[in-house]
Structure 1
Amino acid sequence: MSEYIKIKQGMNLKLIGEAVKFIIDLPVAEVFAIQPSDFVGMIPKLLLEIGTTVEAGTPLFYDKNNEHLLFCAPVSGKLIEIVRGDKRVILAIKIRTDHDIKYVSFPKADPNSLFRNQITEQLLQSGIWPLIRQRPYGTIANPNDDPKAIFISAFDTNPLAPDIDFVLSAEESHFQTGIDALAKLTTGKIHLNVQESNSPAPVFSQAKKVQINTISGPHPAGNVGVQIHHIDPINKGEVVWYLNPQDVVIIGKLFTEGIFDASRTIAVTGSQVDNPKYYKTIVGTSIKNILADVGLKSGNNRIISGSILSGSQTLADGYLGFYDSQITVIPEGNEYEFMGWLTPGLEKFSVSRTFFSWLNPNKKYDLNTNLHGEERPFVITGQYEKVFPMDIYPVQLLKSILIEDIDMMEKLGIYEVAEEDFALCELVCTSKIKSQEIIRRGLDRVRKEFS
Structure 2
Amino acid sequence: MSKDIRIKKGLNINLVGAAEQTTSTAVLSNVYAIHLNDFHGLTPKMLIKEGAEVKAGEPLFYNKNKEEMKFVSPVSGELVEINRGARRRILNLKILADKEQAQLTHQPLNVEKASKEDIKAYLLEGGCWPFIKQRPYDIIANPDANPKAIFISGYTTAPLAAQADYVLQGKESELQAAIHALAKLTPGKVHVSVGEASNSPLAGLSGIELHKVSGPHPAGLVGTQINKIDPINKGETVWTVAPQDLIIIGEFLLTGKFNPERLVALAGSSVKTPKYYKTKIGAEISTFLYASGVNEDNFRVINGDVLTGLKSRPDGHLGFYNNTVSVIPEGDDYEFFGWNKPVFDKISATRALTFSWLQPNKKYDLTTNTNGEHRAFVVTGMYEKVFPMDIYPLQLLKACMVNDIDEMEQLGLYEVAPEDFSLTEFVCVSKQPHQKIIREGLDLLYKEIG
Q: Which residue of the partner structure matches residue 436 of structure 2?
A: 437
Instruction: Find the counterpart in structure 1 of residue 411 from structure 2.
Output: 412
Aligned residue among 324, 332, 335 for 1:334:
332
Question: Normalized against structure 2, the TM-score is what?
Answer: 0.98
Are 2:217 and 1:228 equivalent residues in the alignment?
A: no
In 1, Cα distance between equivalents of 2:289 and 2:305: 16
Partner in structure 2 of residue 157 of structure 1:
157
Structure 1 residues 357 and 154: alpha-carbon distance in aligned structure 2, compared to 1, 3 A threshold: closer
State the partner residue of 1:345: 343
- 1:316 is aligned to 314
Residue pairs, 1:395-406, within 5 angstroms: 395-406=394-405
Question: Is this contact kept in 2: 1:308–1:328, CA < 8 A?
Answer: yes
Aligned residue identity for 1:134: Q
Instruction: Give aligned pairs, total.
Output: 449
In the aligned structure 1, how far is the partner of 2:358 from the partner of 2:310?
33
Query: Where does residue 141 of structure 2 map in the other structure?
Result: 141
Q: CA deviation at 1:357?
A: 4.1
How far 1:214 moved relative to its partner?
Answer: 1.1
Between the aligned partners of 1:297 and 1:351, the Cα distance in structure 2 is 29
Q: Please list every run of at least 4 consecutive aligned residues from structure 1 whose deviation after the TM superposition is greater than 3 angstroms.
A: none
Find the aligned partners of 1:94 and 1:103 in 2 and give their Cα distance.
18
8 Å Cα contact 2:3-2:212 kept in structure 1: yes
Which amino acid letter does the alignment assign opposite residue 306 of structure 2? I
Residue 165 of structure 2 contacts residue 198 of structure 2 at CA under 8 Å; is this kept in 1? no
Alignment partner of 1:10 is 2:10? yes
| Aligned counterpart, 1:182 | 182
The aligned residue for residue 260 of structure 2 is 262
Aligned to 1:253: 251
Greater Cα offset, 99-108 or 268-277: 99-108
Report the equivalent of 1:106.
106
Q: Please tell me the root mean square deviation across aligned C-alpha atoms, in Å.
A: 1.2
Q: Secondary structure at the match of 1:96?
A: strand
- Alpha-carbon separation, structure 2, partners of 1:408 and 1:93: 39
What secondary structure is seen at the aligned counterpart in 1 of 2:112? helix
Aligned to 1:26: 26
2:435 aligned counterpart, secondary structure: helix
Segments of structure 2 that go 5 or more residues without pairing to the other structure are none
CA contact (8 A) 1:398 1:438 kept: yes
Corresponding residue for residue 379 of structure 2: 380
Q: Which residue of 2 aligns with 1:204?
A: 202
Aligned position for 2:448: 449
Query: Which amino acid letter does the alignment assign opposite residue 235 of structure 1?
Result: N
- C-alpha distance after superposition, 1:394-435 (max 9, x if no partner): 000011111111011000000000111000100001011110
Which residue number in structure 1 is paired with residue 273 of structure 2? 275
Residue ranges of structure 1 left out of the alignment (5+ in a row): none
Tell me whether 1:74 sits opposite 2:74 in the alignment: yes
- For 2:376 and 2:109, locate their aligned partners in 1 and report how far apart those are by CA, in whole Å: 58
**8 Å contact from structure 1 (residues 302, 313) kept in 2:** yes
SS of 1:111's partner is coil
Q: Which residue of 2 aligns with 1:60?
A: 60
Contact 2:57 2:75 in 1 (8 A): yes
Q: How far has the Cα of 1:224 moved from its partner?
A: 0.4
On the 8 A contact 2:27/2:287 being kept in 1, the answer is: no
The residue type equivalent to 2:386 in the other structure is V
TM-score, scaled relative to structure 1: 0.97
Is the contact between residue 28 and residue 99 of structure 1 (CA under 8 Å) also seen in structure 2?
A: no
- Tell me the CA shift for residue 40 of structure 1: 1.0
Aligned-partner Cα distance in 2 for 1:319–1:183: 33
Amino acid in the other structure paired with 1:20: E
Q: Which one-letter code corresponds to 2:445 in the other structure?
A: V
Q: Is the contact between residue 5 and residue 214 of structure 1 (CA under 8 Å) also seen in structure 2? A: yes
Q: AA paired with 2:332?
A: N
CA distance in 2, matches of 1:274, 1:78: 35
Q: Which amino acid in the other structure matches residue 271 of structure 1?
A: S
Determine helix, strand or coil for the equivalent of 1:68.
Answer: strand
One-letter amino acid matched to 1:154: G
Q: Is the 8 A contact 2:301 2:314 kept in 1?
A: yes
Check conservation: 2:155, 2:213, Cα contact below 8 A.
Answer: no
Amino acid aligned to 1:29: S
In 1, distance between residues paired with 2:282 and 2:402?
A: 37
- How far the C-alpha of 1:301 sits from its partner, in A, is 1.3
